Amino acid sequence: MSLQPDVIRVDVDADGIATLTIDYPGKSMNVIDQAFLDGLNAAIGRVQSDAAIRGAIITSGKDAFVAGADLVSMESNLNSMLDDPLDVALEKYQSLSRAVRRIETCGKPVVAAINGTAMGGGYEVCLACHWRVMSTAPGVVVGLPEVQVGLLPGGGGTQRLPRMIGIVPAMPWLMEGKTADADTALKAGLVDALAPPAELMAAARRWLMDSPRAAQPWDAKGFQIPGGGPLDPRVSPAFVVGTTMLQAKTFGNIPAPLAIQSCLFEGAQLPIDKALRVECKYLLQVSMRSPVSRSMIRTLFINKSKAEKGLHRPAGFPVSPCRKLGMVGAGMMGGGIALNAAQRGIPVVLIDRDLPAAERGKAYAVKALSRQVDKGRMTQDKADAILARITPAADFNGLRDADVVVEAVFEDRAIKAEVTRQLDAVLPAHCVLATNTSALPITLLAQASRFPERFIGLHFFSPADRMPLVEVIRGKATSDATLARALDFIAQLRKTPIVVNDARGFFTSRFIGAFIDDAIGMVAEGIEPALIENCARHAGMPVGPLAITDELSIELSVHAGQAQQREFPDEYQPGRSVPVLQRLYELGRLGKKVGKGFYDHDTAGKRLWPGLSGLYPVRQAQPDPHDLKQRILFVQAIEAVKAMEEGVLMNPADGDLGSILGVGYPAYTGGPFCFIDGIGPAAFVQEADRLAGLFGEHLRPPAMLREMARSGQTFHGRHARPQPAMPH
């Protein structure tokens, strides 16, 4: 018999075993929202009150168990939560924790039959059950990844997991957001048993028929946490070391990991119900008192999901999978794109000027897959199957039935134009012709084609087989059909697209360029190079700007600037970094590849070149490190606003995603537009004016920002400025 055809069905068999099947109608995955909570409360209430029920199994009617929070309701909550008084907010934040607590206190044994992936709140439901059996089906994982979007588990995860496996073993699962497959989960104690998919429900039922106790160990008088409590000498050093490591890793920019540590330390000294309140209070703190979690959730969860689900895909075109890819240019970029496509099941013709060069491009895939096999992450048979999809070639004849061709030859308009003309002669009419470029305008490149409507820019990031972002650049002639097919191709590659309008440098190149150009300009100002590098790291940049420049090559930077000057003599304006880079280039300091640039590189590592101070003497009075960190973050955010003002970016979500996933803007900011919103446009304008007074007019806020500050507009949320539609 069934309770209701709603989010959770309750069926009771002749032995009194109730099966609670989570099967959210109208959704491809089970998510946690108010309807889920209402259904869970009703189902547990039924189990508790029905004398005919002796125990319950919670499982899913979908391939996954429960994926976590609902995207739509989460976005709505982001926009409204700041208006709630503290007591009202706390009540809301406790709703999941209260519902989950009812599972373990209902007086009857409950089993989690984890038939698919259980993440975040979904796994917290499992933790509250009295026993957990997990399917051994491939791809099934469990975990608490909330820290990755600036949150902490708010449904009891920080309290139940340490009570199950111990405080120290629980730390990496909570503070790093690690996930575990079935074997790892059993070994770590995250689940109690494993079963093949066909035997999962039978295993859960057998455990219930043995009439186990319907109480958790931590509800028993005298319960002790395995391995000792927070003050135990075996455990307490982990908090001291952990706090130090957190500071070294996050520089205090991300509050969630420290809040999780506090939940562990404080909650583990309290009875479970009081501990759960402590957890909710810290969740409230990282959500409402800090913009970090709101920004990270908005960009890395909500807007990333929207982009991957076709935010910018023109309507009215059927999905067009790529059944054959042509990859022209077999360098590191071309080899990486070919490998990525082959891994996703797409046959690839990999073309270069001659067959040996094309074979070298395939060797990139051979080397990358060999590493996976050597580490036990892939079988040799699977690696061989992937490699079999890559066919090296020296001519374009194999592309007559291609659906997509990506050209990644040298960044030279003449060379790209010649390749485009040759491709025009062989490609079928429906084929998308994409150029991989980081700066050359797509509309100009498309002039070489007889079919500019099928020409589009796809800017991949190196290494292309691992970097998650593709910047899609729409030329003035690019058709809706071409954009739709290009986005379908990116979805096949399982990458995240952003869509921008055509302009030199697009978005990501000019964005990271603003950071590097200004930072190298600081060297000429007499700012200590080590201070520049360290402030960048403390601000949250993954690598210092001088180290990045050495990695990318000073020689390449100089030649790229010269090429831009040749290509666009009327538009080109040399940046503040150009004289510094030119001087190092003339001294033969070409970057890491020759062992010397801003740094001296050798087998022992790298050290800043002492001779730099001879070229650019360090001034006696150095800027305040706080001001330098602000300068590093603000100069990039200001460049993003300029890109929006000029119509290159049509949606702030694209700028936020592109900055983090493509070029390493700190994830804790949520991207430049979330960063501005978090500070508040009016306060941002005031601080930018202060920085411009200290460091120069390039930090002066654009007119768009001043107008937003006056009108009370933001980039995201209820007061977001109107966004222009993408051109069609």
Residue with tokens 């997991």: 161
Take residue 329 and report the two structure tokens written for it.
């240019």
In sequence order, the β-bridge partners of residue 348 are 325, 390
CB atoms within 10 A of CB 355: 13
The CA angle 711-76-35, to the nearest 5 degrees, is: 165
572: helix, strand or coil: coil
Residues 6+ apart with CB under 8 A from 375: none
Amino acid, single-letter form, for residue 122? G
DSSP labels for 18-54?
EEEEE--TT-SS--BSHHHHHHHHHHHHHHHH-TT--
Residue with tokens 């023109």: 314
Q: What is the DSSP letter of 407?
A: E
Active site residue 459: yes
Contact 552, 546 (CB under 8 A): no
Specify the pairing of strand 179-181 against strand 141-143.
antiparallel
DSSP labels for 445-462?
HHTT-S-GGGEEEEEE-S
| Dihedral pair phi/psi, residue 129, rounded to 5° | -70, 160
Residues 6+ apart with CB under 8 A from 331: 361, 408
Amino acid, single-letter form, for residue 4? Q
Whole-number Å distance between alpha carbons of 220 and 313: 55
Strands (DSSP E) along 265-347, which ranges? 325-328
HEC per residue, 586-629: HCCCCEHHHCECCEEEECCEEEECCCHHHHCCCCCCCCCHHHHH
Catalytic residue from among 459, 626, 716, 728 = 459
Take residue 559 and report the two structure tokens written for it.
């030649």
Q: Please give the positions annotated as active site.
A: 459
